[in-house]
Structure 1
Amino acid sequence: MRVIDVFFRRKRGSFLKTLLSLTLICASFLMIHKLKVSEKDGLGFKHVRSFGWCSGSDCFPFRSGDVKPGVDGSNPAGLRADVRANQSWDAQVLNCTEDASVRSKDWFRRLDPRFHQFVLHRHCRYFPMLINHPEKCADTDAHLLMVIKSVIEQHDRREAVRKTWGEERTVNGKKIKTLFLLGTPAPGKDTKNLQKLIEYEDRIYGDILQWDFMDTFFNLTLKEVNFLKWFDIFCPGIQFIFKGDDDVFVNTENLLDFIDFKVEQRKEAGLFVGDTITKAIPIRNRQSKYYIPKELYDKPYPPYAGGGGFLMSGLLARRLFLVSEELELYPIDDVFLGMCLKKLQVYPEMHPGFRTFGITRRRVSPMNNDPCFYKSLLVVHKLTAHELLKMWSVVHDADLVCAQRTSM
């Protein structure tokens, strides 16, 4: 135990990163069972959880928990006193019970049971932080914050992003910072061991924000509002945010060039751009992942950007946080952001460089694997970790020659 613990505390290195990746993918559970890491592990926090409820196959549960000071005397959730000491994450204990008054509503009785727990608990908005990195925004020269939605089990995707478009670096004098947004695994997924794995991963990379709510599809909106609040508290100087999934390809250089163009035009303050969807309506097919019953929402959606990836200004993110608190949570996160934008009277800009449904929706099309398209676009969805690493290498190969394209 002591030998392994010392090993994990050593200076970051490529050998350690490689070993962690292999361990997580091939033998992570075996390793953790042998480690028997004590509860007081010096991470700067200790948390105790009790499991809440779960409804159906698409679980929407919450966990109540409290975050206590670490053994080293650090403050709750690992907050650092040297970063905006006058502000901190205030959701440290949550005992959020259901809104029983909703049960008496006629529309609730008619509502598909899959949405009952979401509706009963959608007033539960902010959750305790299990892992926090407020120092990410302490650098006043940081230009672009890459914010990626992920789940604990998708370590290979995070590794691929870190090695490609999410690498923290400086490009033409502009600093790029990276954060991954995580909740907690649902019951039955060896929760304690997975949590230890993510804590070790964060020790090495220091780029994870984790909240104490379960990672489910409906809870993606919780990632949205909890991040917006976090950003408002800790990131006064960040100018731009790219927010996307962990299975997209982002051409970082093109993204920075696009930002420069908007700054030159003096149109950066209200910037919100992506693969904008207009005139959409709720999907009524009960088999669809995006099914919404009429009782929950029965009008057209406002314009919104596909959640695979979009770019916005830091100024607009702070405005979105304020207006988000005035709206009821909605189970589809990108639509919820569209509702917030509508409230602000901001129209999300459509840009053809954001391909959140792939370069073409025809999966068999050779265009989806053509590196010259990737070289000219901003964001492409969706790739496996292996495909991302391979495409990144090809796109940045100095020997790649692309003919000039005038149309797609």
Structure 2
Amino acid sequence: MDHLFRRKRLGLLKPLLSLSLVFASFLMIHKLKLAEKDGLGVKHARDADWCGSGCFSFKKGDVKSAVGSSEAPVLHKELDAQRVLNGTPASWDAQVLNCSEDASVKNQDWFRRLDPRFHQFVLHRHCRYFPMLINHPEKCADGDVHLLMVVKSVIEQHDRREAVRKTWGKEQTIDGKKIKTLFLLGSPTTGKDTKNLQKLIEYEDRIYGDILQWDFMDTFFNLTLKEVNFLKWFGIYCSGVQFIFKGDDDVFVNTHNLLELIGFRVEERKDADLFVGDTISKAIPIRNRQSKYYIPKELYDKPYPPYVGGGGFLMSSSLARRLFVVSEAQELYPIDDVFLGMCLQKLRLAPQMHPGFRTFGITRRRVSPMNSEPCFYKNLIVVHKLSAAELLRMWSVVRREDLVCAQRTSV
């Protein structure tokens, strides 16, 4: 797995990268300070110690959180009792990682034939839970969160997180329903100035207090680690939440329509097994070696179970807890949304299709004028994918009182 191996940077590139990052750091810090002055407020100060992701294989668990070194308060006595029954720890217990490769796999014929790009993933896919660099055990401490917005991001995508916070990811209460937001991050990938980037993300978290960060490298194959580590984290710290929206930082989410969908499912008493999104059925692994989603036959050679596009989906907390249980026995897979489909299959459940979730955009043709038509966004729930500037613009237009759509728009 990529996170256990880092290459030495070329001598000539290092100073150039450092200079570029210093300039970018100044810009980002300036923006963060402006946000701080605008009343977002600085959260509790963190311990100054920092250990780069290059030393995570022997690091003690010194987790930064908005409540210092104390553990999250217990929400309810019955939740604490339930943790004892199901074996869930009361706090994050992955404090030290010393995960060596599974050398026995190298002796198998299928591994010798396997595309080398997947070697590290296969050798280390038993490495499942990682130490936390930033934690917020207090996020759900009041026990009254209706909807938790969980957003996958990487350190460099500061502008996207800013746009989400100003739009659909804003922490607020709507019609008595409390909404909280968290961003899921790993560590900077190989070839980046990890120390400066880490300090920047810690500074950002001091302002907003909405980042969860684990000590594994933020690579495409490691997106599945965000799934399993979050599911475990959720069972420890946020079991009282009723619903979870999980998506990318480049989607548009119509919060009103999302809450309306939840309300309908609750009224119909169809919320216990709720897992809804842009469902993909009868898919097979992609064999094109140039594709981002390429999977060799040696790794997986049968049709995929039904799954939802990872750009954005909604699930109940009850189902999230059951997903965590089955995920622990499910072998990790390098495509995160397919992995969740495999876990659902183990529960003998299928994801529910909803036309309001457009994780491939309104149309697959990027240049289509429909992809920028506000009336579509007003009636949909999730649209993928938008830049930070596009998200801010569309959010502003869709919420305008003078926006008139002649009839309910559909495609």
For 1:263-282, what aligned pairs fall within 5 Å after superposition?
263-282=266-285
2:388 to 349, 361, 385: 385
Q: Does the 8 Å contact 1:83/1:135 carry over to 2?
A: no
Matched residue type, 1:281: I
| Aligned twin of 1:12 | none
| Aligned twin of 2:195 | 192
For 1:227-266, what aligned pairs fall within 5 Å after superposition?
227-266=230-269
Matched residue type, 1:27: L
Query: Cα 1:403–1:115, aligned 2, differ >3 Å: closer, same or farther?
Result: same
| Aligned twin of 1:134 | 137
TM normalised by structure 2 equals 0.85
Question: 1:141, 1:29 → 2: CA distance?
Answer: 33
Matched residue type, 1:133: H
Question: 1:407, 1:200 → 2: CA distance?
Answer: 43
CA shift, 1:364, in A, is 1.8
Query: Cα 1:383–1:73, aligned 2, differ >3 Å: closer, same or farther?
Result: closer
1:351 to 339, 349, 354: 354
CA shift, 1:28, in A, is 4.4
CA shift, 1:66, in A, is 2.7
| Aligned twin of 1:401 | 404
For 1:52-131, what aligned pairs fall within 5 Å after superposition?
65-68=59-62, 74-75=68-69, 79-83=70-74, 87-131=90-134
Return 5+ residue gaps in structure 1 as ranges.
Answer: 1-22, 33-40, 53-61
CA shift, 1:44, in A, is 3.6
Question: 1:270, 1:376 → 2: CA distance?
Answer: 24
Question: 2:333, 2:322 → 1: CA distance?
Answer: 18
Question: 2:158, 2:63 → 1: CA distance?
Answer: 28
Q: Does the 8 Å contact 1:45/1:69 carry over to 2?
A: no
Q: Does the 8 Å contact 1:49/1:64 carry over to 2?
A: no
Query: Cα 1:31–1:301, aligned 2, differ >3 Å: closer, same or farther?
Result: closer
CA shift, 1:369, in A, is 0.4
For 1:11-43, what per-residue CA distance to the aligned partner results, in whole angstroms no more than 9, with x for missing partners?
xxxxxxxxxxxx9676348999xxxxxxxx951
TM normalised by structure 1 equals 0.85
Q: Which protein is richer in strand relative to its size?
A: 1
SS in 1 for 2:311: strand
For 1:192-214, what per-residue CA distance to the aligned partner results, in whole angstroms no more than 9, with x for missing partners?
00000000000000000000001
Cα RMSD after superposing both structures: 2.4
Question: 1:81, 1:373 → 2: CA distance?
Answer: 41
Question: 2:197, 2:29 → 1: CA distance?
Answer: 8
Q: Does the 8 Å contact 2:53/2:194 carry over to 1?
A: no
Pair 1:181 & 2:184 matched:
yes
Query: Cα 1:311–1:136, aligned 2, differ >3 Å: closer, same or farther?
Result: same
| Aligned twin of 2:27 | 27
Return 5+ residue gaps in structure 2 as ranges.
Answer: 1-22, 33-43, 81-88
| Aligned twin of 2:370 | 367
Greater relative contact order, per chain length (Cα 8 Å cut-off, separation 6+): 2
1:147 to 131, 147, 150: 150
Query: Cα 1:81–1:327, aligned 2, differ >3 Å: closer, same or farther?
Result: closer
Pair 1:208 & 2:199 matched:
no
Query: Cα 1:277–1:45, aligned 2, differ >3 Å: closer, same or farther?
Result: farther
CA shift, 1:48, in A, is 2.8
- Identity of aligned pairs, percent? 76
For 1:181-234, what per-residue CA distance to the aligned partner results, in whole angstroms no more than 9, with x for missing partners?
000101321110000000000000000000000100000000000000000111
Structure 1 ranges of 4+ moved more than 6 A: 29-32
Question: 1:203, 1:185 → 2: CA distance?
Answer: 19
For 1:145-166, what per-residue CA distance to the aligned partner results, in whole angstroms no more than 9, with x for missing partners?
0000000000000000000000
CA shift, 1:45, in A, is 6.8
